[in-house]
Structure formats: C-alpha cells, structure tokens
Amino acid sequence: AADTNARGHTPCDMISAAATQRAVSAVAPRVRRAVQHRAAPTHIPAPHRGLSRSSVVAKASEDDIMEQLMAMLGGGKKGAMVDEDKALPGRQQAMKVTNKHYVLGNPIQEPFPDNLETCVFATGCFWGTEKMFWRVPGVYSTSVGYCAGYTQNPTYEEVCSGQTGHTEAVQVAWDPTVISFADLLSMHWTCHDPTQGMRQGNDAGTQYRSGIYCSTKAQHELAKKSAEVYGAALKAAGRDRDITSEINGPGDDRLYYFAEDYHQQYLAKPGARPYCSAQPTGVPVPEDFLKENGAKLSTSYWKKYGPRPGCTIQVSNEPVPVEEALNA
C-alpha cells in the first residue's frame, strides 16, 4: 500500500521545502503508474489536435505531474469539475476489453443473466475498489471504468487530465438471492473515506471522487438513505466532515465506460503493484440499518473480512466462499 503519512494539504502560500517533498513523495506512486502505462503504445490515444502520438504522451505526462502536485498542495484545477463545453470530445469507438473476469471467470460485459442486478461504485482508485467488491460472495462479475463524466469513451490518460469529468469506478453485477444491495452499500461506505471530496488519500482530482450510480429507483432510494445513516454514524464516531459522495439514479448522469484492459482486475494479475490510497474510516454501517434492509452478511463477517483502516488490499484475491461468509 502507498505511504499514508503524507496526505495532508499545505496552503500554497505556506509551502516549505519539507512540505513540498512530502507532497512530491505522495504523488509519485500515482504519477509513476500513469507514466508507466502511457509508455504502452496500444493504450495511447490517437493523434489529437495535430500532435504526434509521442508528443501527446509526453505532454500528458508533464501536465499530469504538475496537476497532481498542485492538487496535493491544495491548488490547481484538479479539484474542480470541468465544464461540459470544455471537456475533451472523446471518440465513438468503445474500449476493447477481455470479456472474462480474471478471478471469477464470468463475463464482465452485459448482457448478464436476467436474475442479476448491477450498480456502479466509486471510492477512489478503482484497483482496490474492484478487488474489495469481487471478493464479496454472490458477486457475479466486476469491471473498472469511468463514470459520470462528459467525454465519450475516454482513455485513462484523458481521465487523469481532469478534462473529462469522469470518476474512476467499478461496475458490480450480483445475485440478489445470495447477497443484498445493502451488503454492497456497506462495502462501499467502509472501504474508503466518503468525506474527502475530490480526492481519496494520496490521490487528488475529480477522478477520485466518491459516488454510487444506481440502475434502479429502489437502489437509488436505499443508497440515499444509507448515506444519511452512515453520515450520522461518522458524526457519532467523532468525524465532523459531511459525506460528499455523488448518488445518482436512473436517468441521472451515470453513463459508464470500460477502462483499458490492463486495468481490469489489475491487482490479481502477475506483476501488479499493490497500490492503495483508500482511507477506510473504521466506522461500520449501523447493524440496524443493514438488518432492516435485507443484509445477508453479519457484523461478524465485516469484522473478519471487511476493510481495515489504512489499506484495503492486503487480502487474498479469492472471493470469500458463500458458506464461510454466512457462517462468520
């Protein structure tokens, strides 16, 4: 997991050399990840606005480094949503992905079996988010992508520029006879800090904002109710900040585009770097709310298998077996 000791903001007019170094150290892992993937020619966007492919990559790398640093220092444009008329145009061609989940073995693209439900969750860097959801028993499939923005079929580089309006997100498909939406909401709220606005831990920018993007009206109503309940739980635990998560329903801004193939189930693949900047609070979703809304997983399950403060990914890649989960 990434070093979480250097995650505070420092006003630009009070930056010391030490503070600057801490900010650079915090940003470096994420920037290295972006630059590394930009070097792969199969994932570089097509020439844009008269620039060559190599110059687009170099310019994107330089801009991302500067903008990430400014965001970590409390300034720059990455903390504000781009206006729709200023967003990048994108492209009609959809992202090509391998339609088989690397861990679960099921398709990651729709259509899914008719008995399944879907929802999109955003909790910061989508690598760790996806892993936490694919481990939940009853989850049929997960994928990572970009949600709630303006640019059509964006690339990772474009999303990282802050000029598409998307957030990194995970689409989850599950069997409601095995796991409930309330259980997945519990995972959402507890696997990150939903009060951090346009950032999550060391990752700063609009692409790291928290959100729930529901596919049905019933999901939307329960998600909004859960935010009220969990917000009160955070306050009762001494956390004063309000929840900043977007909660969109059918008809709202919830269009989801697949991310590049190398991002799909990234943390389970050979050679993956175990990066994690999520900031779980350690505050559980109240048990009464979960029971009232059909949760199938017990408090004991969350104590044994749920996210831990500081890092969410230092667990097995394998899903928790259903019988083991229900008997926890």
Active-site positions?
Answer: 125
Contacts of 45 (CB under 8 A, 6+ apart): 53, 56, 155, 157, 158
What CA–CA distance (Å, rounded) separates 14 from 21?
Answer: 14
Three-state SS for 66? helix
CB atoms < 10 A from the CB of 121, how many? 29
Q: Which residues pair with 247 in a beta bridge?
A: 212
How many residues can be counted in the chain?
328
Helix, strand, or coil here: 174?
strand
DSSP state string for 268-284: GSTT-----------PP
Half-sphere exposure of 140 (CA within 13 A, CB side): 21
CA distances from 310 to 19, 42, 232, 317 (A): 21, 34, 22, 18
CA dihedral over 207, 247, 10, 233, signed as positive or negative: negative
Cα separations (Å) of 145 from 80, 90, 117, 161, 181?
A: 20, 15, 18, 15, 20
**Cα–Cα dist 205/283, whole Å:** 25
Q: List Cβ neighbours of 48 (8 Å cut-off, separation of 6 or more).
A: 56
Name residue, tokens 């330089």: 62
For CA atoms 170, 173, 175, 180, the dihedral sign is: positive
Residue 238 gets which letter from DSSP? T
